[in-house]
Amino acid sequence: MVKEQRWQNILNEIRKNDSVTLETIMLLNHVSRSTARRDLEDMEAEQLLRRVRGGAIPLRTYSRSDSVWHLAETPVPLGSSNETEPTFRARETLYREEKERIARAAHDLVSPGETLMLGGGTTILTFAHTLSDINPLYLATNDLQSALVLSDYENVDLTILGGSLRRKHYAMRGYFTEQMIAQMHADKAFIGIDAVDLNVGYMNYSTAEIQTNKLMLANSHQKIILADHSKFEKIAFVNICKIREIDLLITGREIDEQYLEKLHDLGVNVVTV
């Protein structure tokens, strides 16, 4: 398949799903992983998309005529939040099967009658979908997507942590959110993160939600991080906590073996699923 057709297939997939994974590109274009990566690198250089860990997301909208790619919209301004952090919708389609495995492992840690705090993110949302069969549960979350799922579960006594809405990420944050968390104590906190580094610790792109995550961890007896393998060996803008300041890290078996060994060497309690 010629390069131009491969690129067209990739852009079509991004238009449909707001993102594309390397695995999808390999199947779609019948190419190796290295060719899929090279296509994404070349397309990013042509400002056709933005690469993220494990795939790509839209940069702007394009049309095609006479083998020439034309801009159809103004590019995302440099320095905007989209420059570094994909939207919730873009992240939702990435590593779905791995996130489901992580969610099931987290579900098995929850007992009837427990109080839980849930942060934001797509892995936490996947976890929320698993909680309909544990009765009763007392839950607080600042994530509107998770709240919508949990609101249908009769076994869940749900508290929504109000505050200011972070648009396109469906998370509540700010003074009022933090004041509510400060009055609570939970058996377990389940937090999603954007990046993990052995020296820096667990990080998020957004400064807006950092204090929310910090308070959830501080006000919970057991601190649990849920993260797919793409979050490792990355740096995000601001630190949540150090690498050993949590009780459990759950990730997918796709994590690099050498990196997993380093986590164990540092005394991090890691479960791979």
Instruction: Tell me if the pTM is above 0.75.
Output: no
Choose between 192 and 76: higher pLDDT.
Answer: 192
Q: How far apart, in Å, are the Cα atoms of 164 and each of 51, 101, 193?
A: 30, 31, 20
Tell me, what DSSP letter sits at residue 232?
B
Tell me, what DSSP letter sits at residue 2?
-
Q: How far apart are CA 68 and CA 64, in angstroms?
A: 6
Q: How far apart are CA 91 and CA 34, in angstroms?
A: 22
> What pLDDT shows up at residue 51?
87
Mean pLDDT of 156-175: 88
| pLDDT of 222 higher than 90 | yes
Whether residue 86 is preceded by a cis peptide bond, meaning omega within 30 degrees of 0, is no
Q: How far apart are CA 268 and CA 117, in angstroms?
A: 21
> What pLDDT shows up at residue 62?
43
| pLDDT of 82 higher than 70 | no
Q: How far apart are CA 180 and CA 161, in angstroms?
A: 7
Write the single-letter amino acid at 52. V
Mean pLDDT of 160-187: 90
> What pLDDT shows up at residue 72?
41
Q: How far apart are CA 218 and CA 21, in angstroms?
A: 35
Contacts of 64 (CB under 8 A, 6+ apart): 8, 70
> What pLDDT shows up at residue 143?
95
> What pLDDT shows up at residue 50?
85
Q: Which residues pair with 239 in a beta bridge?
A: 203
Mean pLDDT of 153-177: 90
> What pLDDT shows up at residue 91?
60
> What pLDDT shows up at residue 237?
78
Q: Which residues pair with 141 in a beta bridge?
A: 118, 160
As to burial, measured by CB atoms within 10 angstroms (0-12 exposed, 13-18 middle, 19+ buried), residue 70 is exposed
Lowest mean pLDDT among 29-38, 89-98, 111-120: 89-98
Q: What's the gap between Cα 108 and its chain centre?
A: 21
Contact by Cβ (8 Å): 140, 177? no
Q: How far apart are CA 136 and CA 224, in angstroms?
A: 20
